[in-house]
């Protein structure tokens, strides 16, 4: 099977040497069971030690190895050479992000956004360890479970044309994580998160292209999270118009 | 060169490191905590843990029972005072994580759900479907973001412990982005860098798990304890080594040989109960035996010819089909996903091919029950440490709880130590870091002949053969020789990337150096232990020998191979007995 | 407000490196590169026409009866109506397909199948449209 070769065209950016990126062509043995990441590792180990990229778990859960493969954001540990071969694979850094080197993108902006939306538990009521766990029914868990499975791979940002052109947009994963806590029966942080979520760079920048949900490798469906947040914000607005309205959306 | 100063420095941003950071950050808002991690914290390998975290919570369970399971699981090599502390604090830590938002799976009444796990006589493993490590890590990471006094150094690689006048006072860190080495100093340092499964070829471990913290401590003169005990998880996917959780068996999955026969019954693991019997799965027997015994049973079955030959080595089948689609999808969604993606199978309809795979290191940096190492100011927690909770064999689902309990304990002890020893020899430390920078630059410009990948592959092969599930003196001696040879060849390493911006070849070289040190401790400690206990099975010494070896091994660095010493196991109320399952 | 701290902003070495980041250009023809992007752009543009038609209808209501007749008759008007109808249908389909993302219905732990929800909306839409058509035909008949 390894008699055949697969061909990759890999984005190279080496700021110590050149200020402009180039593409480099590599031939690697084709194996039926190899993922694209295996091909990159083969290049790194046997052909060119200067290629830089991130990876770690190689089982689709750490979220490190997201790259553009033939123009589409993919976890390279979860797509196979056989999905493309004999087509040439063009491997590029995730779109929309600044590039540090080769396939390594700058994640600072995304990391800051996670903090801005306060993607952590803000308890509705305090509870001591001695009082034990908060009770949460399986049905209540099911409400937010899907949004809690985001692996922060940022493929959704690479797919989002809004983020691509306006990086101030909070973006799909951060909004989905905010919604994950907003919809958690133990959480009471909706108001605090609303400041970021519903401001000018929040959910209203989303024009519902829907590609974030298409590319999500974990079926988190961030597009749904964003639209649901919009509904909450709308309800809040109408409530604020009437004197008896309370600015709080049920979760 | 700029010096970063904190009150404590944590090396590693996985479960243990983040738990330590939160413990310090929350309890001591006036302190500054530095977290130096070679990965973004949420990429750490805690993320890949699947099955669950053990802690006594249900009325049918007891602290006493959990303690007894751990000690017997450890083949009596656990320190019993450490086990007691661990078991007592486990439920508190798991509840704490619940309060931070961890989406634990639930019972209909809203309380947390637990599942049975290997070697545990009662069900006590908390779980979040089969992505427990993922949810724990993300909960910890997101919680840690709250604390303004936690300063992260993401994608910075600790290359040396800064030790001055017998006290550890910081680390020298390599910033991947700039190639700069700079000192991060503090009166106390906690190593939380995980294990070193990558010294083996076939492992569940992520590429990041290269034993970095162990090697750092070892080079600073701290002994590595019980390194011969390497856990082989009985169920990994052939080829990739991707973990198929023990929870699959906790939920009732069975292991069968090439004839569909539940072969574990032939290896002293009890009698099988029919899968449709409400008694199935019977705790602590058959498929729910401890990992060491199950992996050893595979080797024996293989010798007997009962396994199936495959392109990527022999395997047996894990059968979940009788659990039904609903239960499989609800409890084991990640297993469904992994099987579908990587082997094109559906566990609802198909048998899953599995074989034993290197998973965890029971050994690590020698610490006491507060995570303190013999080097003042240096602490360790999580898989990189060996507080002697796991002894000769860890029970599944104890390690996730361990990193919480000992992460928090180490942080509190480190803060206390730092308060009493706050003076730092900043100039001397900065000089050490500058020297380290020079050494690395020297390594940089070296034009050797040995490619990193070749040395790594030879190391992997030597470990795979010499330090396998069953070992013998001859094979271990060969592995020792090979590792010594690799250590020498390391001097002639070839680096081709001379860029300072996100150079990934340089850290790979430093990791290889760490792996070789760790591997040397594993094979030398294994060679010296002429008995069989837990995960360490010697064909030439098949019996447990309490007379000579009811002791922890300690590997000390010397200029040649490590010097192996021994220290006593703490036995309090549970005298050594024969282990019995089934 | 608590803020996560990362050391990079303080580091001078990191500052130099920030200047060397490569900013990937966003191609001006991005919306032609993927069908979902193109459909999105069509939706954005046609929204102007659909909105414009709504305003046109509102204006018509305030015109005298003769002028109303004159405005909606003739081949140009008929053509325009067909075009706007196609556009409106596209928006309707988009909206109905989006519904299950916004409207998540739970039956205990089970999420009601989104396809079922969408289908229900389609059925409602068709029934409602038929009722209106029937009403118009009935009124038109009565008027004659």
Is residue B179 within 8 A of residue B503, CB to CB? The reply is yes
Three-state SS string over B297-353 comes to HHHHHHHHCCCECCCCCCEEEEECHHHHHHHHHHHCHHHHHHHHHHHCCCCCCCCEE
Cis peptide leading into residue A86 (ω within 30°): yes
3-state secondary structure of A104: strand
- Please answer yes or no on whether B239 and A33 come within 8 Å at the CB atom: yes
Closest chain C C-alpha to B2 CA, distance in angstroms: 8
Distance CA A89, CA A9 (A): 6
For the segment B220-250, what is each residue's pLDDT rounded down to a tens digit? 999 999 999 999 999 999 999 999 999 999 9
CB atoms within 10 A of CB B582: 17
**Class of the CATH-defined domain A108-240:** mainly alpha
Using alpha carbons, select from B558, B566, B494 the residue that is nearest to residue B528: B566
pLDDT of residue C144: 46
C23 strand-pairing partners? A98
Is residue B338 within 8 A of residue A59, CB to CB? The reply is yes
- Please answer yes or no on whether A141 and B112 come within 8 Å at the CB atom: no
DSSP state of A202: S
Q: Which residues of A touch C (CB under 8 A)?
A: 13, 15, 19, 21, 71, 93, 95-100, 106, 108, 111-112, 114-115, 138-139, 141-143, 161, 164-165, 207-211, 214, 221, 223-224, 227-228, 230-231
- Please answer yes or no on whether B148 and C20 come within 8 Å at the CB atom: no
Tokens 């961030």 locate to: A222
Distance CA A217, CA A97 (A): 19
Distance CA A87, CA A79 (A): 14
Cα B281 to Cα A242, B6, B121, B270, B397: the distances in Å are 59, 50, 11, 12, 17
Distance CA B500, CA A250 (A): 52
Using alpha carbons, select from B32, B77, B67, B350 the residue that is nearest to residue B185: B32
Using alpha carbons, select from B227, B192, B229 the residue that is nearest to residue B74: B229
> Which residues in chain C have their CB less than 8 angstroms from residue B501's CB?
17, 20
Work out whether strand C5-6 and strand B8-11 pair parallel, antiparallel, or are unpaired. unpaired
Query: How far, in whole angstroms, is CA C30 from its chain's centroid?
Result: 20
Catalytic residue among B233, B293, B355, B579: B233
Catalytic residue among B124, B135, B249, B291: B249
Query: Is B317 one of the catalytic residues?
Result: no
* Arithmetic mean of pLDDT over chain C: 84
Phi–psi pair at B247, nearest 5 degrees: -60, -25
- List the alpha helices (DSSP H) in chain C: 12-18, 35-61, 65-72, 75-102, 114-143
Query: Is B340 one of the catalytic residues?
Result: no
Structure tokens at C101: 């993302």
pLDDT of residue C4: 41
The secondary structure element, H or E, covering residue A227 is helix A222-241
Tokens 């064999």 locate to: B393
- Please answer yes or no on whether A141 and B95 come within 8 Å at the CB atom: no
> Which residues in chain A have their CB less than 8 angstroms from residue C24's CB?
93, 95-99
Rg (CA), chain C: 26
DSSP state of C11: -
Structure tokens at A125: 């009521």
Closest chain C C-alpha to A5 CA, distance in angstroms: 28
CB atoms within 10 A of CB A200: 8
For the segment B374-429, what is each residue's pLDDT rounded down to a tens digit? 999 999 999 999 999 999 999 999 999 999 999 999 999 999 999 999 999 999 99
pLDDT of residue B309: 97
Tokens 């600044």 locate to: A98
pLDDT of residue B356: 98
Residue C9 at interface with chain B, using a CB cutoff of 8 Å: no
3-state secondary structure of C120: helix
> Which residues in chain B have their CB less than 8 angstroms from residue C14's CB?
175, 177-178
Q: Which residue numbers in chain B have pLDDT < 70?
A: none
Distance CA B6, CA A87 (A): 52
Taking phi first (over 0 means left), then psi (-120 to 50 degrees means alpha), and beta for anything else, what does residue B147 get?
Answer: beta
pLDDT of residue C142: 64
Cα A76 to Cα A37, A65, A95, B310: the distances in Å are 5, 6, 15, 26
The residue extents of the domains of chain A are 5-105, 108-240
- Please answer yes or no on whether A50 and B499 come within 8 Å at the CB atom: yes
- Longest C-alpha distance within chain B, in Å? 69
DSSP state of A167: T
List, as ranges, residues 137-156 from B with C-beta within 8 Å of A.
138, 142-143, 145-146, 154
Find chains touching chain B: ≥3 CB pairs under 8 Å: A, C
Using alpha carbons, select from A217, A197, A214 the residue that is nearest to residue A206: A197
Distance CA B442, CA B148 (A): 38
> Which residues in chain C have their CB less than 8 angstroms from residue A207's CB?
40, 44
Using alpha carbons, select from B386, B387, B411 the residue that is nearest to residue B11: B411
pLDDT of residue C5: 47
pLDDT of residue B443: 76
Chains B, C: CB contacts under 8 A, how many? 37
Who's near B308: CB < 8 A, 6+ residues apart?
Answer: B257, B258, B314, B315, B316, B317, B353
3-state secondary structure of B547: helix
Distance CA B383, CA B191 (A): 10
The secondary structure element, H or E, covering residue A232 is helix A222-241
3-state secondary structure of B414: helix
The secondary structure element, H or E, covering residue A115 is helix A108-116
Average pLDDT score over residue span C59-83: 83
Burial class, A186, CB count within 10 angstroms (exposed 0-12 / middle 13-18 / buried 19+): buried
What ipTM was reported for this prediction? 0.97
Give domain A5-105's CATH architecture.
Roll (3.10)
By Cβ distance, the residue of A100, A143, A214 closest to C36 is: A214
Structure tokens at B415: 């803060």
pLDDT of residue C141: 77
Three-state SS string over C64-85 comes to CHHHHHHHHCCHHHHHHHHHHH
Structure tokens at B435: 């020297």
Closest chain C C-alpha to B199 CA, distance in angstroms: 32
Mean pLDDT per 10-residue interval, chain A, length 251 residues = 87 94 98 97 98 98 98 97 97 97 97 97 97 97 97 98 96 98 97 94 94 96 96 90 66 44
Tokens 């009662």 locate to: B122
Closest chain B C-alpha to C118 CA, distance in angstroms: 25
Q: C69: pLDDT confidence band, cut at 50, 70 and 90?
A: confident
């Amino acid at each position: 099977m390894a008699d055949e070769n697969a061909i990759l065209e890999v984005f190279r950016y080496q700021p110590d040497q050149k200020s402009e990126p180039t593409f480099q062509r590599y031939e690697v043995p084709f194996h039926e069971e190899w993922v694209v990441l295996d091909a990159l590792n083969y290049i790194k180990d046997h052909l060119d030690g200067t290629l830089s990229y991130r990876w770690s778990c190689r089982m689709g859960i750490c979220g490190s190895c997201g790259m553009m493969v033939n123009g589409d954001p993919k976890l390279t540990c979860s797509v196979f050479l056989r999905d493309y071969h004999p087509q040439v694979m063009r491997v590029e850094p995730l779109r929309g992000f600044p590039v540090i080197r080769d396939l390594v993108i700058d994640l600072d902006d995304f990391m800051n956004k996670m903090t801005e939306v306060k993607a952590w538990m803000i308890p509705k009521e305090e509870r001591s360890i001695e009082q034990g766990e908060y009770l949460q029914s399986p049905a209540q868990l099911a409400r937010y479970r899907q949004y809690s499975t985001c692996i922060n791979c940022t493929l959704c940002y690479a797919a989002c044309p809004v983020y691509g052109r306006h990086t101030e947009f909070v973006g799909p994963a951060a909004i989905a994580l905010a919604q994950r806590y907003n919809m958690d029966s133990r959480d009471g942080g909706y108001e605090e998160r609303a400041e970021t979520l519903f401001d000018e760079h929040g959910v209203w920048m989303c024009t519902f292209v829907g590609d974030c949900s298409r590319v999500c490798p974990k079926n988190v469906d961030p597009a749904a999270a964003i639209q649901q947040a919009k509904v909450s914000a709308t309800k809040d607005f109408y409530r604020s118009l009437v004197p008896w309205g309370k600015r709080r959306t049920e979760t | 060169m700029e010096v970063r100063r904190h009150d404590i420095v944590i090396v590693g941003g996985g479960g243990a490191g983040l738990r330590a950071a939160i413990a310090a950050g929350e309890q001591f808002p006036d302190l500054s905590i530095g977290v130096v991690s070679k990965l973004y914290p949420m990429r750490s390998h805690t993320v890949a843990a699947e099955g669950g975290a053990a802690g006594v919570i249900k009325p049918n369970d007891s602290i006493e029972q959990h303690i007894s399971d751990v000690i017997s699981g450890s083949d009596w090599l656990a320190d019993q005072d450490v086990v007691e502390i661990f078991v007592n604090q486990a439920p508190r830590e798991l509840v704490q994580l619940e309060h931070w938002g961890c989406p634990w799976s639930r019972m209909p009444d809203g309380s947390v759900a637990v599942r049975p796990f290997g070697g545990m006589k009662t069900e006590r493993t908390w779980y979040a479907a089969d992505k427990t490590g993922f949810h724990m890590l993300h909960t910890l990471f997101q919680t840690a973001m709250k604390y303004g006094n936690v300063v992260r150094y993401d994608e910075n690689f600790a290359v040396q412990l800064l030790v001055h006048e017998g006290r550890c006072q910081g680390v020298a860190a390599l910033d991947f982005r700039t190639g700069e080495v700079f000192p991060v100093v503090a009166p106390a340092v906690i190593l939380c860098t995980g294990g070193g499964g990558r010294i083996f070829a076939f492992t569940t471990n992520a590429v990041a798990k290269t034993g970095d913290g162990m090697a750092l401590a070892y080079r600073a003169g701290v002994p590595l304890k019980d390194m011969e005990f390497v856990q082989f998880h009985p169920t990994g996917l052939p080829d990739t080594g991707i973990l198929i959780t023990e929870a699959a068996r906790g939920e009732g999955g069975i292991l069968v040989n090439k004839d569909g026969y539940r072969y574990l019954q032939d290896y002293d693991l009890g009698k099988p109960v029919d899968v449709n019997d409400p008694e199935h799965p019977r705790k602590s027997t058959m498929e729910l035996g401890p990992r060491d015994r199950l992996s050893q049973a595979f080797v024996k079955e293989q010798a007997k010819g009962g396994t199936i030959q495959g392109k990527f080595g022999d395997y047996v089948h894990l059968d979940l089909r009788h659990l039904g689609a609903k239960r499989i999808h609800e409890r084991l969604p990640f297993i469904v996903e992994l099987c579908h993606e990587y082997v094109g199978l559906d566990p609802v309809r198909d048998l899953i091919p599995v074989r034993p795979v290197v998973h965890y290191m029971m050994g690590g940096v020698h610490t006491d029950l507060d995570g303190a190492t013999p080097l003042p100011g240096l602490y360790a927690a999580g898989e990189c440490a060996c507080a002697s909770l796991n002894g000769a064999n860890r029970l599944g689902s104890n390690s996730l709880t361990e990193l919480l309990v000992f992460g928090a304990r180490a942080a509190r002890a480190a803060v206390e130590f730092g308060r009493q020893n706050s003076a730092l020899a900043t100039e001397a430390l900065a000089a050490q870091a500058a020297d380290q920078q020079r050494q690395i630059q020297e390594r940089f410009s070296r034009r050797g002949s040995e490619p990193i990948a070749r040395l790594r592959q030879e190391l992997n092969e030597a470990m795979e053969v010499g330090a396998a599930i069953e070992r013998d003196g001859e094979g271990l001696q060969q592995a020792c020789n090979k590792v010594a040879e690799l250590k020498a060849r390391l001097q002639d390493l070839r680096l081709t990337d001379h860029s300072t911006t996100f150079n990934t070849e340089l850290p790979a070289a430093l990791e290889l150096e760490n792996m070789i040190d760790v591997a040397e401790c594993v094979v030398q400690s294994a060679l010296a232990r002429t008995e069989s206990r837990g995960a360490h099975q010697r064909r030439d010494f098949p019996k447990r020998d309490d007379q000579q070896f009811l002791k922890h091994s300690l590997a000390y660095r010397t200029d040649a191979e490590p010097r192996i010493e021994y220290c006593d196991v703490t036995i309090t109320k549970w005298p050594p007995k024969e282990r019995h399952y089934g | 407000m608590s803020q996560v701290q990362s050391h990079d902003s303080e580091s001078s070495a990191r500052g130099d490196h920030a200047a060397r980041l490569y900013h990937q250009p966003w191609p001006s023809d991005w919306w032609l590169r993927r069908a979902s992007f193109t459909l999105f752009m069509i939706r954005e543009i046609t929204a102007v026409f659909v909105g414009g038609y709504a305003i046109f209808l509102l204006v018509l209501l305030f015109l005298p009866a003769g002028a109303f007749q004159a405005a909606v008759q003739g081949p140009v008007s008929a053509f325009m109506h067909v075009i706007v109808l196609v556009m409106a249908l596209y928006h309707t389909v988009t909206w109905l397909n989006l519904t299950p993302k916004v409207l998540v219905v739970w039956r205990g732990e089970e999420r009601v199948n989104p396809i079922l929800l969408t289908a229900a909306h389609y059925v409602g839409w068709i029934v409602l449209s038929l009722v209106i058509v029937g009403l118009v035909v009935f009124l038109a008949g009565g008027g004659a």
